[in-house]
Amino acid sequence: MPCVLTVAGSDSGGGAGIQADLKTMLALGVHGMSVVTAVTAQNSLGVQGAWELPVEAVRAQYRSVVDDIGVQAVKTGMLSSAELVEAVAELIAGTDAPAVVDPVGVSKHGDALLAASALDSVRTKLLPAATVATPNLDEVAQITGLRVESEREMRGAAAAVLEYGPRWVLIKGGHLPGDAVDLLTDGSEEHWLRAPRHDNRHTHGTGCTLASAIASGLAKGRSVPEAVVEAKEYVTGAVAAGFALGGGIGPVDHGWRFRTDV
């Protein structure tokens, strides 16, 4: 069974972060493993607190898994400080496996998950180590300074992110009105991915889930375009089946393909 390693923060509410990553990997038939970078107190209403783990603890978790079990793909999520970003970038650059970098900047509720001082490390250390980078439009603005307000501006955003060195970039256009449109490109070939927008506010964990689904496809030997297309299909179904949880924004349904009661 292919093995995928997520390097990300823990979401105590189970909708995003490590928890969403492992659920996605299980649903897609790979063995999920984890390196916890931070612990958050988080629920459907937002993030009430976050505590970063020491770099030595993150590095020890990574080496423990990779040196014994091995990995066919790595996915990164919440890396809150420059020190963590640089340590993880070094680890994945030295690992012979594709890396999906989700440059998490803020939570679904608008809570900051990345220190402003870490942005330069994301640009110069983490993105160059990425096989695929998956920024949403807010993260594109953080990284490049470009504000994307229409579909036609996504191509320029992709070019700006590619300048930092990832092999591929997936610009996620979910914050734009209309269909959910994403652009995948390596600077030469382009793939526009469209899906209907579902009238469902319960979308917590969408970005984590998509990046983990892409990593799962790459671990199975899919090409980047094939893995992204399959991941987009999976996430679209998960969003459509997203459910209420608590008093705020509920999670996407990672097990939607297995439901027999819907």
- Catalytic residue from among 203, 209, 217, 242: 203
- Catalytic residue from among 23, 75, 108, 172: 172
- Catalytic residue from among 32, 173, 174, 205: 205
Q: Is 208 part of the annotated catalytic residue set?
A: yes
Q: Give all strands (DSSP E) within the chain, no chain letters.
A: 3-11, 31-43, 46-52, 73-76, 99-101, 132-133, 168-172, 180-185, 190-195
- Catalytic residue from among 206, 209, 217, 236: 206
Q: Is 172 part of the annotated catalytic residue set?
A: yes
Look up residue 185 and give its two tokens: 């490109």
CA distances from 143 to 122, 140, 158, 214 (A): 8, 5, 11, 21
Do residues 214 and 164 make contact, with C-beta atoms less than 8 angstroms apart? no
- Residue 57 CA, chain-centre distance (Å), reads 22
Beta bridge pairs of residue 74? 5, 99
- Catalytic residue from among 108, 208, 232, 250: 208
The residues near 200 (Cβ < 8 Å, ≥ 6 apart) are 239, 240, 242
Look up residue 96 and give its two tokens: 């012979």
Residue of 66, 118, 101 lying closest to 208 (CA atoms): 101
Q: Is 207 part of the annotated catalytic residue set?
A: yes
The β-bridge relationship of strands 31-43 and 3-11 is parallel
- Report d(CA 260, CA 181) in Å as an integer: 29
**Strand order, beta sheet including 31-43:** 46-52, 31-43, 3-11, 73-76, 99-101, 132-133, 168-172, 180-185, 190-195
Q: Which residues have a catalytic role annotated?
A: 172, 203, 205-208
